[in-house]
Structure 1
Amino acid sequence: MTTQAPGIGNGDDRFAVRPAERADLLAVVRIETESFSQPWPYDAFERFLGEPGFLVAVEGATAVTGYIVADITQNFGQQLGHVKDIAVHPDYRGTGIGSTLLSRSLAVLTARGADTVKLEVRRSNEDAKRLYREFGFESLRFVPDYYGDDEDAIVMIRKLN
């Protein structure tokens, strides 16, 4: 299912959010590499193909402008959603694509029965922390040296309705 992302785009340009496809993976990996100092490899994304929480934002028919990877696991009898990765192409940051991807992902996780959603974010990533707080995520705990480069992660969590 493809939906138009409200409030995103200029003029006739429209961004849609849809499940990731194999043809999207190279663009996803390029965005990942441009976005993170320790990018996921191609095969990491390949493993998530077919997961309802692996979504891409596209401009026009095929230009991938951002993505999100999320899944659900059992955690002490509860369905725990986990946002594993999210990034927007540098040229499209600040346009609302990240918010749209996160919103759609939370809707997918809710529909799949998740009670709670967690994510990890670099302690220094103020933009991401601000976005997650806007969506009701709260800091739960720190994980020292989570990223292996002396940077801590903040585990953030949000209860779903």
Structure 2
Amino acid sequence: MTVTSRDVPSDVRIRQAERADLLAVYRIEKTSFGSPWPFEAFERQLSEPGFLVAVDDEETGETIDTAAVIGFVVADLVPNHGQPLGHIKDLAVHPKYRGKGVGTALLRRGLDALYEQSVRSVKLEVRESNEGARRLYSRFGFQPLRRIPRYYDDGEDAIIMVLSRKDRTGQTND
């Protein structure tokens, strides 16, 4: 499904990730994180309904007639005491498009994909130092649950944040 969010420019669309998007997704990942996921990790996520990309129809991608991927979200389900738990595994936006609502739109659509699968709660891990991401998640109603010391390869702590479906804020049902 392709949607246009009122939070982003009209030439930005969010849609399911495709194999042809993977190189652009990986480049954004490498630009965004000091310890990026390997390319193969994205290949394994292709079948997930919550692997979505934001594309800019005004830019041209690496392939002729393909819009440029400018951000992505990877969201899936993990088992949790017999109930599915949503997991926002990764979210990144190309630096040129940060601060323009693209991350907000991706998070909203990632959460929608999880809620369509009947999850009651969603979790994520975020670097303690990533204040911008923590603010974004807080606007959606995510609450810090606990800190995991030395979670990341460079020794930085992670903050586990959770969102109960009943606490969902910062969004409207489009």
**TM-score, length-scaled by structure 1:** 0.95
Match of 1:87 among 89, 92, 95: 92
Q: Secondary structure of the residue that 2:107 maps to in structure 1? A: helix
Superposition map of 1:110-149 within 5 A: 110-149=115-154
**C-alpha separation in 1, matches of 2:121 and 2:8:** 28
Per-residue deviation, 1:7: 3.1
Tell whether the 8 Å contact from 2:7 to 2:102 is kept in structure 1 after alignment: no
Structure 1, gaps ≥5 residues long: none
Matched, 1:41 2:31: no
Matched, 1:150 2:147: no
Matched, 1:72 2:109: no
User: Hey, which bits of structure 1, 4+ residues long, moved more than 4 A?
Assistant: none
**TM-score, length-scaled by structure 2:** 0.88
**C-alpha separation in 1, matches of 2:7 and 2:149:** 38
Partner of 1:29: 26
Question: Partner letter of residue 8 of structure 1?
Answer: V
Partner of 2:15: 18
**C-alpha separation in 1, matches of 2:114 and 2:7:** 23
Per-residue deviation, 1:149: 1.2
Tell whether the 8 Å contact from 1:56 to 1:68 is kept in structure 2 after alignment: yes
**C-alpha separation in 2, matches of 1:5 and 1:26:** 24
Per-residue deviation, 1:74: 1.7
What's the Cα RMSD here?
0.9
**C-alpha separation in 2, matches of 1:46 and 1:107:** 22
Partner of 1:57: 54
Alignment coverage as a number of residue pairs: 158
**C-alpha separation in 2, matches of 1:8 and 1:84:** 22
Question: Partner letter of residue 152 of structure 1?
Answer: D
